[in-house]
Each structure stands twice: as C-alpha cells, then as structure tokens.
Amino acid sequence: MTVVNQLMKLAFVAALAVQAGCAESPKSEDAAADLPEIDTLVSAEWLKEHLGDPDLVVLDATVIVESDAAGNFRSVNGRANYEAGHIPTAGFADLLGELSSAESSLQFGMPSPEEFAAVMGALGVGDDSRVVLYDDMGSSWAARVWWMLRWIGFDRAALLDGGLNAWTAAGGELSTEPVFRATRTLTLNLRPELIADQEEVRASIDNDAVNLVDALPEIHYRGEWTMYDQPGHIPSAVNVPVTSLFDETGQFRTDEVLSGIFVGDREARTITYCGGGIAAAADAFVLTRLGFTDVAIYAASLEEWTANPDNPMEINLEDME
C-alpha cells in the first residue's frame, strides 16, 4: 500500500474511529528514577539498536480498514496482518478485541483500568518495562494504546515514528514467529482526567476555558459526509484532521510545524475527539509532546455523541463553496 493510499484510509479511520497481576499501590519514585528512559517517539533506527533490550516490549496495534464498492468502511481485526509479518519480538495488541470493552455498545469502548492492565500484563508489560507501539497505517491505532497506558499511569511508552512502513524502509526484517512473554505486574495509578465523558464535552461547548479539537477529515467536520447519526461537528470545536499530523512518508511532522497547527493556551483544558477515539488519540499524542498539560480524549466520541438527539451538532456546508 502506498503512503498516499495509507493516508487516504487514515482519513476514514479517523471517522471510526487470566490474571495479570494488577496492583494498586503507588510506584516507588526512587525505583522509577533508576529505570532507563525512553522518548515518546522513537525512530526505526533506534528500535533496531534497542530491539534486544531485555526490558523492551514491542506491540503491534494494527487494525485493518476495509471498504466495499459503495464506499462503506469497516474495521477488521489486524491479527492476520500481524501473523503475516511483524517486527521481531512484537506481540499483538488487539484493539478490536480484548482492549475494548465487551460490555460496551461502542466499537472501541473503553475497558476498565483493571481489564486493560491485565491484558498489558499478559503481553509482558510490567512496571519496569519500556514499550514501543506501532501499526501499519498512520499511528492512530498505536496512539490509542499509548494513551490508555498513560491513563492507567504508565509513562514509559513510545510510538514508532512511521510505523511498520518506516521499519521496513529502514531495512528492518519481519518475522512470522509467534511471540510469548511471561505475564508481568502492571501497577495502576489511574489518571481519570485523561478521558473526557459526554457530560464534560457538553459543558465545554462555547467555554473559552476549554479547547475542543475535532480530529476527523474536513469533509466530515463540515458535514458533507458522515458515518454517524448526525453530520457535522460538536459546536465550538476546531478541526485538526489527523492526516495533517503526518508528512508524505507517514512520519510525524516536525515539532515546529505541529506547533503551528496546534496553537493556543498550553495550560488550558484540551479535549480531542473523532468517531471512536482513535484519531483523537493521535491528536492528543502530539498535543502532549508539544507541552499541552491538560489533554483528554473523548473516547466515546461521535459514535456516542450523535446517538443522542439532544446533543447539538453544527454543519458548515457553505464553507465548501
């Protein structure tokens, strides 16, 4: 798949958007200070150099987006792609399965913190791990898992810049070998403020103290096209399409360029949303890297919002002229 095709599909992705030893005691700051650091964004060359590090856990978070002749899109579990070829040592983080709530009516409903930590622990992620996440389309799927790790209090995670394409472009090999890791303990230090709910978003409309950011494609934001019950965007939201975050190679644009896209008070409450909380996570990832200090994603996003006829939506079709 070409990078152009990937970015086109990513635009529509934006519209979709056992025991594991979970503990609840606070982590030791002294112990954390002794652990190796990791940036929130790493290159393929960095990963090639560190792939054998014993504390490094690599996870493939790919979800496949398929379309039919009528132009309808659907999400498909990415495990088959993972099994066909993944970065050596990488496990599979199943966003469509065990990393979403089975009880939720939403496609990517948030699991409980305990459920999420249990799955991560079963994948070999422990308190002393470093984690690198990637997918094969943009980085939004990986960003969702990255954000969920931060939500439960785990900060030692990074995205692979450019994802699987960057890895293969750098000469990285692929493996079809299954990966098994010992179950680890992952401590919960929950940050509930990283996930906004419907009530908070409703209260944020036309609130000058809050920035609402829509990560959907521009045609969806304006109301020309929708996959949900109502077209348009949440009133007072600004549009920063997830595709605007990446260059022609599929890697994140420079911080200088991204700082020109995300402007405003970096200490203000900032809530990102999309269709199902996936593209919103990529926007939130960039905002956090740029130094915005109070960022949340509306994880249920328009899948939940537009299902409630009492929730307002705004369209700007005249801007298309």
pLDDT over threshold 60, residue 139: yes
**pLDDT confidence band for 71 (50 / 70 / 90):** low
Positive or negative, the CA dihedral 193, 156, 97, 61 is positive
CATH 3.40.250.10 intervals, the chain: 3-191, 194-320
**pLDDT confidence band for 2 (50 / 70 / 90):** very low
Average pLDDT, the chain: 90
What pLDDT shows up at residue 75?
86
What pLDDT shows up at residue 33?
55
Tokens of 36: 């190796």
What pLDDT shows up at residue 14?
45
**pLDDT confidence band for 35 (50 / 70 / 90):** confident
pLDDT over threshold 90, residue 319: no
More confident residue, 66 or 255: 255
Give the predicted TM-score (pTM) of the model: 0.89
Superfamily of domain 3-191: Rhodanese-like domain (3.40.250.10)
Q: What are the b/e assignments for 252-279, b being 16+ CB within 10 Å?
A: beeeeebeeebeeebeebbbbbbbbbbb
Question: pLDDT digit string (tens) for 152-206?
Answer: 999 999 999 999 999 999 999 999 999 999 999 999 999 999 999 999 999 999 9
pLDDT over threshold 90, residue 13: no
Q: Which of 169, 92, 103 is nearest to 134 (CA)?
A: 92
pLDDT over threshold 50, residue 29: no
CA distances from 114 to 105, 132, 201 (A): 19, 21, 25
Domain 194-320 has CATH 3.40.250.10: yes
For the chain, percent of residues with pLDDT exceeding 90: 79
